[in-house]
Structure 1
Amino acid sequence: NIINDFSLGKADILVGTQMVTKGLDFERVSLVGILNADNLINFPDFRASERAFNMLEQVAGRAGRRNKRGLVIVQTSQPAHPILSYLQAHNYEGFYEHELEERRRYGYPPFTRVINIYLKHRDEDLLIRAAAGYAETLRHLFGNRILGPDEPHIARIQSLYIRKIMLKVEIQASMSKVKAILRSVYEAQMADKSLRSLVVYYDVDPM
């Protein structure tokens, strides 16, 4: 109803979340403001830049449709950030090349495969200790391919606290061997009776 009223001109200003980027076509919109774009740009994920560029470009597309010139204002504390210069120029290819080089330099997909290891437990203190021990064991086996443990963006679901460990694996590595190593580490960790209620699961090639 809100979107329909806005389309009919019953309101002059529409305030919304990222949902307003999803294919809506408003004929009269001439100005779009993006508040606190830093939240998108600095999100703790290796795909943050890609997602931020995509989202900001989509939002910018809401202004000046139907062959009318529009204005987009982006609020940021990082006006010199590369993403914003590519956005301003609508330079898709430039952004792609920049992002690909960043991924290559720091060892992220498509140059590696990523496995996120999530640990959950009702006792946060026990979880913190367990996650640290788990990561240390994996680090002895995989070296600097292990990152974390970290507190994910959503750090608790219902009564379970969550920690995340990231494993980066070379494309040419044997995933069956990686799987076997992860299995042996899991079994060794579960030998500790205090960790029997620890929940561990894996997200391979997370989207």
Structure 2
Amino acid sequence: MDDRVSWLSVAAHPAEYEQVADNLFSLFVTARNLAPDRNATGCTRHPNGPVDTQAPEGWGRCLFCNSNRRLGQPGAKAGPEIARSMWAIPEPPYSHRALTGTMKKLKEAVVELELRSPNRDFEHVADLAHCAFYIARELSRPPSTSGCPRHPGAPIDSDAPGGPQCLFCLGRQRQALRGEPKVNIRPSRPVPAPVRPPRTWPVPPADGA
């Protein structure tokens, strides 16, 4: 795979990266199976639960646990955007140079790997393999006329002010202008008292009856 990536030129067509991305994904799957198990939430109680993409800084990524924490801390604000993948995602821009650099690190990590290597070394190889696959996948997307370095294969909003723009970046700009959504905290309603039927006591019969 390292040789195949080296043979590609800087101006290679996106179609030339399709087979590279497929092979890198197979490599990532192999590395992932050798590494310890991971889950997207990082939660021991809800390992397969949904991920909280608006988690405050310093909190976990489990939506169930964070929902309970928000009940006690309603003023908590969302932290920086976090990656939704459980494996490492490289920072943009995604270019041929970034792919060759990642492949070099991956090759060095694999050479140093041994059967008795600690788990963190296997995790490091899996992270690098996922980064290489992620870059190759982005390079295999059809070229975009938006010229966005962060989302090269993103759709375009042709009616955007100032000309066509990346739809993903434009959506983030509009969200930033609107500001953070306001959450109205409604106080808890008091629990109504239980309604009990009146008690009727049997009247004992009179003496001699």
Q: Which has the higher contact order (CA 8 A, sep 6+)?
A: 2
State the TM-score, normalizing by the size of structure 1. 0.20
State the TM-score, normalizing by the size of structure 2. 0.20
Over alpha carbons, which structure has the higher Rg? 2
